Amino acid sequence: MAEKGNSINGNIVFYNGKKYTIIHKYESGYCEIRETGVHNTELIHISELKFITN
């Protein structure tokens, strides 16, 4: 699955109905995400993210 491993940085995900990019995933399962066009970063658990699949 896309959400496994350390290579998820840069993946696009949905959170609260908006598209975000994963900036960094921590071993704890939390991810730093950033909304497209917005400079602020949010810390969200991976279980709350919906991954976009091709």
Q: What does the domain layout of the chain look like in residue ranges? A: 12-51
Percent residues over pLDDT 70 in the chain: 87
User: Mean per-residue pLDDT for 34-39?
Assistant: 89
Task: Annotate 29-49 with b (16+ C-beta within 10 A) or e (fewer).
Answer: eebbbeeeeeeeeeebebeeb
Spatial neighbors of 4 by CB under 8 A, at least 6 apart, are: none
User: Mean per-residue pLDDT for 38-45?
Assistant: 95
How far is it, in rounded angstroms, from Cα 54 to Cα 50? 13
Residue 18 has pLDDT above 70, yes or no: yes
- As beta bridge partners, residue 43 has 32
pLDDT of residue 6: 57
Task: Report the predicted TM-score, pTM, of the whole model to 2 decimal places.
Answer: 0.80
Which tens digits make up the pLDDT trace of 19-36? 999 999 999 999 999 998
How far is it, in rounded angstroms, from Cα 5 to Cα 36? 23
